[in-house]
Amino acid sequence: MKNFLILIMFIFIVRTSLGQSKPIDYELAIGFVPSFISASELIITAKGDSGFLNIRIYKNYKTKETSIECKTTIPSSGLMALTNFLKTYKFQIKSSIDTVGCHKEFVHGDSVLVYDINVGSDGIDVKGIFTQNSTMKKFAFWSPENGTKNADLMVVVFNLLDNAFTDQKLINYFERLEQYFPHKLGLKKLSDHPLTYKLFGDISEREEDELNNFLEHLPTHRKIIIDLSNLSGMGTMFYDEFNQYCANNRNIYWLNPSSRCLIVLSKIGIPNRQIISKKGP
């Protein structure tokens, strides 16, 4: 009898624990309005044991004309990092300077308070709405600084996007969008056989140490391919370093550089035999 009671208590505790770990339902909508590339909107929905992601890239942001739209489903475990982050995130309307004012607009017959964000001319405006249990929380910011909670939120979001979508056009867009936030060197390992990496975005003085560390640790006895298909450019300060490295490593090849990157490779002095594909913008 005693053992039977212990078993009943054990089952009750397990069921209670499972009930407490039930996935949390919510929706997070984020609008991205960068200065020099297309605007987009991401909607993340957590419902039951699944997560749903919907990304729209706009051809015309004002008219909401869409150029690309893609949806995907992931298990709720894939949203765990975001879900945990949102538990402590403070939803605020702010920018790197300040909110400059507000005004009312009527949306579907309801009066909505709209905040005006003081922004610059070279950066990104981010606005979002978090909805859970019929409660709505709004947030907005302009080009967050490194180490802030807004920058940390973007790290979590981009990690989620990288794992959820495989379409190459979307990946290229996410890589360009990521450059508007505090970031490290745009670098990904794509394959071990052959050893293939991808450099993307802009390479500036702040990524110099990371770039040098990457180049210095590449093996010289293996064929190495570096995909430049989404590299926007690099500072001229790197030209001599690239030239010297390539002169010492004849097993490195540059894949799919854009027309702009071809000009850069020519100025650096990379021989044509090390450019295995030439691709337009």
User: Locate tokens 């765990």: which residue?
Assistant: 80
Please count the helices (runs of H) and the strands (runs of E) in the chain: 7, 12
Same domain, 151 and 51: yes
- Within a domain: 1: no
Closest CA to 89 of 13, 10, 150, 167: 150
Rg of the chain taking only CA atoms, in angstroms:
24
Same domain, 74 and 147: yes
* Residue 174: predicted pLDDT: 96
Domain limit, last residue, from 158, 176, 194: 176
pLDDT tens for 22-56 read: 567 999 999 999 999 999 999 999 999 999 999 99
User: Which pTM was predicted?
Assistant: 0.77
Find all residues with CB under 8 Å of 209, minimum gap 6, and list them.
Answer: none
Side chain identity at 250, as an amino acid letter?
R
User: Binning pLDDT at 50, 70 and 90, where does residue 88 land?
Assistant: very high
Give me the mean pLDDT over the 102-128 stretch: 63
Q: How far apart are CA 125 and CA 106, in angstroms?
A: 22
- Within a domain: 170: yes
Same domain, 163 and 199: no
Same domain, 134 and 54: yes
Domain count, the chain: 2
pLDDT tens for 128-172 read: 999 999 899 999 999 998 889 999 999 999 999 999 999 999 999
> Which pairs count as long-range contacts for 205-209, CB under 8 Å and 24+ apart, including other chains?
205/235, 205/237, 208/237, 208/238
User: Which domain range does residue 68 map to?
Assistant: 26-176
- Residue 168 backbone phi and psi in degrees, to 5: -65, -35
Same domain, 157 and 195: no
- Within a domain: 61: yes
Same domain, 216 and 127: no
- Within a domain: 232: yes
Q: Are strands 99-107 and 65-75 parallel, antiparallel or unpaired?
A: unpaired
Same domain, 171 and 196: no
Share of the chain above pLDDT 90, in %: 54
DSSP SS3 for 222? coil
Domain limit, last residue, from 142, 176, 210: 176
Find all residues with CB under 8 Å of 157, minimum gap 6, and list them.
Answer: 30, 42, 82
- Within a domain: 4: no
* Residue 91: predicted pLDDT: 94
Query: Mean pLDDT lowest for which of 18-22, 125-129, 222-226, 275-279?
Result: 18-22
User: Binning pLDDT at 50, 70 and 90, where does residue 100 land?
Assistant: very low
Domain limit, last residue, from 118, 150, 176: 176
Burial class (CB within 10 angstroms; exposed 0-12, middle 13-18, buried 19+) of 128: buried
* Residue 103: predicted pLDDT: 54
Helix (H) or strand (E) holding 240: helix 239-248
Same domain, 191 and 168: no
- Residue 165 backbone phi and psi in degrees, to 5: -115, 145
* Residue 187: predicted pLDDT: 93
* Residue 62: predicted pLDDT: 87
* Residue 9: predicted pLDDT: 54
User: Binning pLDDT at 50, 70 and 90, where does residue 17 land?
Assistant: very low
Find all residues with CB under 8 Å of 76, minimum gap 6, and list them.
Answer: 23, 46, 48, 49, 50, 51, 83
- Within a domain: 39: yes
Q: How far apart are CA 208 and CA 198, in angstroms?
A: 16
pLDDT tens for 55-69 read: 999 999 889 899 999
* Residue 242: predicted pLDDT: 83
- Within a domain: 142: yes
Same domain, 199 and 168: no
- Within a domain: 8: no
* Residue 18: predicted pLDDT: 45
* Residue 115: predicted pLDDT: 55
